């Protein structure tokens, strides 16, 4: 029996760490669209499809311009797109990284750096901090994923 068969069991601390980090990032990924919805409902603007400007229970008093881009709503959409460019890659890279059996300390370092950087990036983006802050945090998250991929690649080659 191959020892690798237990890499995806909860009693593998590397997998346990990954599972925790992945769940937090999945919540982030799934909740950002709710923030977009909340913002659209609050300003009753920033809708995207022509039919969204019709009078319905969710839009009882349609007004002119509801389909125009609205910065308050667009910001949340950009944050969502930024998540899409990063989180699925993190989830996949992290799982493959777990499957090549990295040292626990390295796994904790890379996985938690990613989670912390994305959490801080969310705050920086939502509060419109200067680009340099957002870019620095994004760099930490991107390098964490790239490091996991490179580690995995070196184990495979």
Binding site for a second copy (CB under 8 A): 1-2, 4-11, 16, 19-20, 22-24, 26-27, 29-31, 33-34, 37, 47-52, 54, 56-59, 71, 75, 78, 80, 84-85, 87-89, 91-93, 95-96, 99-100, 125, 128-132, 134-135, 142, 145-146, 149-150, 152-153, 155-157
**In the complex, what is the shortest distance from the CB of residue 65 to a second copy, in angstroms, rounded to a whole number?**
16
97 contacts 152 by C-beta, under 8 angstroms: yes
**In the complex, what is the shortest distance from the CB of residue 100 to a second copy, in angstroms, rounded to a whole number?**
7
113 contacts 144 by C-beta, under 8 angstroms: yes
10 or 63: CB nearest a second copy = 10
Query: Alpha-carbon Rg of the chain, whole angstroms?
Result: 20
DSSP-derived 3-state class of residue 11 = coil
75 or 116: CB nearest a second copy = 75
Please provide the DSSP assignment of 97-140 as one string: HHHT---HHHHHHHHHHHHHHHHHHHHHHHTT--HHHHHHHHHH
50 or 105: CB nearest a second copy = 50
Torsion, Cα of 141, 146, 152, 155 (10° steps): -130
109 or 129: CB nearest a second copy = 129
């Amino acid at each position: 029996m191959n020892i690798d068969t237990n890499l995806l069991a909860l009693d593998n601390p590397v997998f346990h760490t990954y599972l925790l980090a992945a769940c937090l990032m999945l919540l982030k990924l799934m909740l950002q669209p709710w923030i977009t919805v909340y913002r659209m409902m609050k300003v009753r603007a920033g809708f995207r499809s022509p039919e969204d400007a019709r009078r319905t229970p969710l839009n009882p008093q349609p007004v002119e311009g509801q389909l125009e881009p609205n910065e308050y709503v667009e910001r949340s959409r950009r944050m969502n797109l930024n998540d899409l460019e990063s989180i699925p890659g993190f989830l996949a890279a992290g799982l493959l990284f777990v499957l090549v059996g990295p040292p626990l300390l390295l796994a904790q370092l890379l996985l938690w750096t990613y989670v912390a950087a994305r959490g801080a990036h969310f705050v920086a983006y939502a509060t419109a901090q200067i680009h340099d802050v957002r870019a620095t945090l994004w760099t930490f998250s991107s390098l964490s994923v790239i490091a996991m991929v490179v580690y995995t690649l070196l184990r495979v080659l």
